[in-house]
């Protein structure tokens, strides 16, 4: 890909904390996280730093699997406030003009027509700057909030998601871009021969159409996905235009990056049709010592309950049922239906086929700043790490998690962004008006667009982070 530049994504939460649950205890964290001012300020900061995308993750329940109770999570503020990201994005879209706006939405608990209309509308309201992070949801707490007895089987969730995305994309393409005539004198609003009904009757969904929102300036919202398992990665390379990941280190990242691109090619998809962005924390300071002191302070904010509550949530397993040095049985390990990538990583890193509860805490670092790579140092040092990852290549960009908000983003934009720009690996300004243009992706269903050229999902692939 000629003229490669880093794609930058802000990893945001419409919650009481950043990605780091302990962040609300940080003295510099803003407490007005349920006000529009808070989100406007983040949006403007990220746009000042020319971020391509401000992205909200989401989960449809509190982390209340630990001890089968919400009390500990609420008391300690472990991601318990979760507002709907869509209205929040509308506020941020109105306060900005160029930055992309992404939100997470589950294929397990909504209907495709609803999601298609919601995101298409937001795409119009923001001039073509929207992205949809497709998730399949992962635990019983979310299921309970939507009237289901428990979360569906891991791979079955992706089968449903495949059909979900097919329906959404088909609705988004129901109107030809030139269907609207607005011929007042002739009395013709639009050409009906350029509007199609879908008449979808599939295994999971029925949806008739015609869809009621014509295409936006970027055709339709950008598709984002973050599958880590074999099935999840097959889904991602089939549909995604942006792929999020967690790469524990540069070497594994380099491998996973190459394998994801190879997987796309073997499925008939152009690997330049998507961008791969792993999540990282950054802590930057005017000197190395300042940065290291700041990082150590942040690390010290986390409490054991953060990890236990979020492990229980993500693995859909109640960690309160185990004492610290109690090994998980084979059956318990098999029964884990949530983020299996965490389970597999703990088994591998601990060298213990039956890890204990302590092993899970120690080797997952879930809910702490050690959960993903953390680039700490001066602007030049942080830029060095990013450049190394980008040029190896182990990524096309980064999903920047914040140790606290808004300070972590303000520091990054003030100190690291100019350094990256000076090195010529990060853009000085937005290339276009829409998210797809700014990411350099093919527009309006081009050759590398999701679902195009794809020969269908690949069912069995090896997870490169689990050799
Ligand atoms: C950067 C990033 C953001 C994610 N955001 C969400 C999210 O908002 N909601 C969610 O349920 N899962 C989220 N996930 C989890 C993925 O969607 C996916 O379920 C997970 O990586 C496990 O892969 P698997 O589904 O293939 O097992 C995210 C993952 C990453 C790496």
Angle at 121 between CA 119 and CA 123, to 5 degrees: 70
Strand partners, 7: 397
Closest residue by Cα to residue 169 from 265, 92, 240: 240
Q: What is the pLDDT of residue 325?
A: 94
Residue 442's pLDDT is 80
337 CA from centroid of ligand 1 (Å): 13
**Among candidate residues 461, 463, 455, 459, the one with its CA nearest the CA of residue 267:** 455
- How far, in Å, from the CA of 5 to the mean position of ligand 1? 25
One CATH from 3.30.470.20, 2.60.120.560, 3.20.20.30, 3.40.1190.20 for 7-289+373-438? 3.20.20.30
Among 333, 373, 371, 331, smallest CA distance to 352 is for 333
pLDDT of residue 2: 54
Rounded to 5 degrees, φ, ψ at 224 are -120, 145
- What was the pLDDT predicted at 1? 54
Residue 378 CA, ligand 1 centroid: distance in Å: 30
pLDDT tens per residue across all 467 residues of the chain: 557 999 999 999 999 999 999 999 999 999 999 999 999 999 999 999 999 999 999 999 999 999 999 999 999 999 999 999 999 999 999 999 999 999 999 999 999 999 999 999 999 999 999 999 999 999 999 999 999 999 999 999 999 999 999 999 999 999 999 999 999 999 999 999 999 999 999 999 999 999 999 999 999 999 999 999 999 999 999 999 999 999 999 999 999 999 999 999 999 999 999 999 999 999 999 999 999 999 999 999 999 999 999 999 999 999 999 999 999 999 999 988 788 889 999 999 999 999 999 999 999 999 999 999 999 999 999 999 999 999 999 999 999 999 999 999 999 999 999 999 999 999 999 999 999 999 999 864 443 455 544 333 332 233 333 32
Does the C-beta of 279 come closer than 6 Å to ligand 1? yes
Long-range contacts of residues 356-362, Cβ cutoff 8 Å, at least 24 apart: 356/322, 356/324, 356/325, 356/326, 356/327, 356/328, 357/319, 357/322, 357/323, 357/324, 357/325, 357/326, 357/328, 358/324, 358/325, 360/311, 360/319, 360/328, 361/304, 361/307, 361/308, 361/311, 361/324
Ligand 1 contacts CB of residue 135 (under 6 A): yes
Provide CATH 3.20.20.30 ranges for the chain.
7-289+373-438
The dihedral built from the CA positions of residue 90, 245, 227 and 327, taken in this order, carries a sign that is negative
Q: What six digits make up the tokens of 369?
A: 């700043």
Which pLDDT value is given to residue 448? Answer: 46
Which pLDDT does position 339 carry in this prediction?
Answer: 87
378: which 2 tokens?
């001066």
Cβ of 399 closer than 6 Å to ligand 1, yes or no, is yes
Q: How is residue 189 written in tokens?
A: 């609003």
């Amino acid at each position: 890909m000629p003229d490669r530049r880093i794609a930058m994504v802000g990893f945001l939460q419409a919650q009481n904390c950043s990605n780091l649950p302990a962040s609300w205890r940080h003295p510099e964290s803003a407490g007005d996280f349920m006000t529009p001012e808070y989100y406007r300020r983040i949006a403007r900061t990220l746009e000042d730093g020319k971020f391509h995308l401000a992205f909200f993750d989401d989960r449809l329940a509190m982390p209340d699997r630990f001890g089968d109770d919400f009390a500990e999570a609420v008391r300690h503020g472990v991601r318990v406030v979760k507002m709907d990201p869509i209205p929040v994005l509308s506020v941020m879209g109105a306060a900005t003009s160029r930055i992309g706006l992404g939100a997470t939405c589950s294929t397990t608990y909504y209907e495709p027509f609803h999601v298609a209309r919601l995101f298409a509308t937001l795409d119009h309201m923001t001039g073509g700057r929207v992205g949809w992070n497709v998730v399949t949801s992962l635990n019983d707490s979310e299921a309970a909030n939507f009237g289901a007895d428990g979360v569906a089987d891991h791979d079955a969730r992706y089968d449903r998601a495949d059909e979900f995305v097919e329906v959404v994309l088909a609705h988004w393409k129901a109107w030809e871009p030139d269907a609207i005539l607005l011929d007042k004198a002739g009395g013709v609003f639009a050409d009906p021969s350029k509007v199609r009904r879908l008449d979808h009757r599939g295994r999971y969904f029925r949806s008739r159409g015609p869809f009621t929102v014509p295409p936006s300036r970027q055709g339709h919202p950008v598709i984002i996905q973050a599958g880590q398992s074999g099935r999840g990665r097959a889904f991602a390379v089939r549909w995604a235009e942006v792929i999020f990941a967690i790469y524990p280190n540069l070497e594994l990242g380099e491998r996973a990056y190459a394998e994801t691109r190879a997987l796309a090619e073997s499925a008939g998809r152009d690997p330049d049709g998507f961008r791969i962005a792993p999540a990282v924390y950054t802590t930057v300071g005017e000197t190395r010592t300042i940065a290291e002191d700041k990082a150590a302070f942040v690390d010290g904010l986390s409490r054991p309950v953060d990890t236990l509550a979020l492990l229980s949530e993500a693995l859909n397993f109640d960690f309160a049922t185990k004492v610290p040095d109690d090994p998980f049985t084979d059956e318990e390990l098999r029964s884990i239906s949530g983020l299996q990538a965490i389970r597999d990583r703990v088994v591998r890193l601990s060298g213990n086929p039956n890890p204990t509860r302590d092993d899970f805490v120690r080797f997952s670092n879930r809910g702490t700043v050690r959960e993903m790579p953390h680039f700490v140092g001066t602007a030049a040092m942080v830029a060095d790490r990013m450049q190394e990852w980008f040029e190896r290549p182990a990524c096309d960009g980064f999903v920047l998690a914040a140790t606290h908000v808004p300070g972590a983003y303000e520091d990054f934009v003030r100190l690291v962004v100019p350094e990256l720009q000076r090195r010529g690996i990060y853009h000085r300004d937005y290339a276009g008006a829409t998210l797809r243009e700014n990411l350099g992706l093919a527009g309006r269903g081009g050759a590398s667009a999701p679902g195009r050229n794809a020969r269908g999902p690949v069912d069995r692939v090896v997870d490169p982070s689990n050799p």
